[in-house]
Amino acid sequence: MSTASLPAAADPTPGPHHVAIIMDGNGRWAKARGLPRVAGHRRGADAVRRVVRGAGELGIPVLTLFAFSTENWTRPADEVNDLMGLLRHYLRNELEELHKNGARLRVIGNRDGLAADIVRDIDEAQKMTKANARIDVNICINYGARDEILQATRSLARSVAAGELAADGIDEARFEQELLTAGVPDPDLLIRTSGEQRISNFLLWQCAYAELVFVDTLWPDFGKEHLERAIAEFRRRERRYGGVGG
């Protein structure tokens, strides 16, 4: 459902406690303006800054952003290099603001394939912000949900084969310990920008009961007011978790 015409009205219903966002539309934003795709990615980085700040102001405890998927490696090499450059810029130039605003940064994804300096920057950013408690900001880089689930399954299978774990001892809680998001609460609300209505291999296990909100706004134009509208839509919904509504 698009929230393009929804008012950002206040609502007393609690939550969401964890908002996940698929940041989509950078390329289309640039194309519409006759600019190279990297220009859209750069403006998208500005949107990240606005939304992280806005989420903190709105009191959202956890924010997760899908920045680079395992499938994104198939894009043209120049675009991938530009995206990696923007990642370096973000980790090195936005860290002070994140830290100042009480954000704890966590990067979720497979580090294989990432340049050594990016891995080092990730480690330093996580170390600097680990004691912050105002908002948890998770950035998914080189992340794919199917691969995450496969890796978790293989890890559990190895434990069973080694006699360290009984097959009957594998329940949802134990499975979640093997996921890359271990220790992170499941999202209540998943937002995708740009009008596309799919979740694109993002947090498949974790979003089993998330409310989905699709907005027409392209990511570079997304800001706190759009986040507020999505939250307002979330609060109007009745969450049943498979049960019967009132």
Task: Quote the number of domains for the chain.
Answer: 1
Please list the active-site residues. 24, 72
Q: Return all residues near 199 (Cβ < 8 A) that are at least 6 apart.
A: 22, 190, 192, 207, 212
Nearest CA-CA partner of 151 in 173, 171, 177: 177
73 is in an annotated binding site: yes
Q: What are 119-123's contacts with CB under 8 Å, separation 24+?
A: 121/88, 121/91, 121/92, 122/91
Q: Tell me: the pLDDT tens digits for 33-72?
A: 999 999 999 999 999 999 999 999 999 999 999 999 999 9
Q: Are 193 and 22 within 8 A, CB to CB?
A: yes
Kindly state whether residue 109 falls inside one of the protein's structural domains. yes
Kindly state whether residue 76 falls inside one of the protein's structural domains. yes
28 is in an annotated binding site: yes
Burial of 49 (C-beta count, 10 Å sphere; 0-12/13-18/19+):
middle
Kindly state whether residue 176 falls inside one of the protein's structural domains. no
pTM of the full structure: 0.90
CATH number, residue 231: 3.40.1180.10
26 is in an annotated binding site: yes
Q: How confident is the model at residue 240 (pLDDT cuts 50, 70, 90)?
A: confident
Kindly state whether residue 41 falls inside one of the protein's structural domains. yes
Kindly state whether residue 47 falls inside one of the protein's structural domains. yes
Least confident of 18-22, 197-201, 202-206, 234-238: 234-238
Kindly state whether residue 155 falls inside one of the protein's structural domains. no
Q: Are 138 and 64 within 8 A, CB to CB?
A: yes
199 is in an annotated binding site: yes
List C-alpha distances in Å: 108 to 4, 180, 203, 237.
Answer: 30, 6, 11, 29
Q: Is the pLDDT of residue 242 over 80?
A: no
129 is in an annotated binding site: no
**Full domain range(s) for residue 42:** 18-144+188-236
75 is in an annotated binding site: yes
CA distance 191 to 20: 6
41 is in an annotated binding site: yes
Kindly state whether residue 65 falls inside one of the protein's structural domains. yes
Q: Are 89 and 128 within 8 A, CB to CB?
A: no
Kindly state whether residue 13 falls inside one of the protein's structural domains. no
Torsion 240-184-92-58 (CA) sign: positive
SS3 content of the chain, % helix, strand, coil (to 5): 45, 15, 40
Q: Tell me: the pLDDT tens digits for 117-164?
A: 999 999 999 999 999 999 999 999 999 999 999 999 999 999 999 999
CA distance 109 to 69: 9
